[in-house]
Chains A and B, each alone.
Chain A
Amino acid sequence: AQSVTQLGSHVSVSEGALVLLRCNYSSSVPPYLFWYVQYPNQGLQLLLKYTTGATLVKGINGFEAEFKKSETSFHLTKPSAHMSDAAEYFCAVSPMNRDDKIIFGKGTRLHILP
């Protein structure tokens, strides 16, 4: 079975500061890992994904995440926050190469302070 835990339902950072959103997963088989972003009144958009290969994954809008198997983590980072980054972020897991559902975390709302 798979599950996702996102630490912190709300995170506030100042504009220009480092963004760090934490995600830990549980999976009985090798996982695929995803980060999605949801802007108000919109659907979800894929930020980045880890499937195989390099454990440091770069995504859109300057975000990146590192898959750490030993820590079962997939934290999302961005060196310098921008006001436009204010949104809800969801970490998600799915078993590798399977015809299966994606399990989402409860989400972290990112607030950017001017």
Chain B
Amino acid sequence: DAGVTQSPTHLIKTRGQQVTLRCSPISGHKSVSWYQQVLGQGPQFIFQYYEKEERGRGNFPDRFSARQFPNYSSELNVNALLLGDSALYLCASRRDRVNTGELFFGEGSRLTVL
């Protein structure tokens, strides 16, 4: 079975631009979470979606938004990019809503903002 897949793997944007990152969860997984990992730091929680509803939001500005589609795939959008948004963006999926199950991570989308 395919793991969590993310696209694009790498991208370069300039300040003020907008970016959309995509994630396909493992088949049968209904929960998708997004994390931001700045170089040298641990992942920071951005969003969690379950059954197309937002179930949690981290301490990120409104420039960050996400959605989940009927097939459980997800998109993360970041508007008005800042240099500080440069990071590895990780998507993770889990079968259930509650946190007993293992989070499966994709390999991430590395965003560089110039």
Contact = CB atoms under 8 A, between A and B. Distances in A.
B110 to A, nearest CB: 9
Contacts of A107: 40-42
**Contact-residue size bin, chain B (C-beta under 8 Å from the other chain):** 20 to 34
A87 to B, nearest CB: 14
A106 B98 contact: no
Interface in A5-27: 9
Interface residues of A, number: 27
Interface SS, B side: loop
A99 interface: yes
Contacts of A100: 56, 99
Interface of A: 4, 9, 32, 36, 41-46, 49, 51, 90, 92, 94-95, 97-107
Interface of B: 4, 33, 35, 40-45, 48, 50, 55-56, 58, 90, 92, 97-100, 102-108
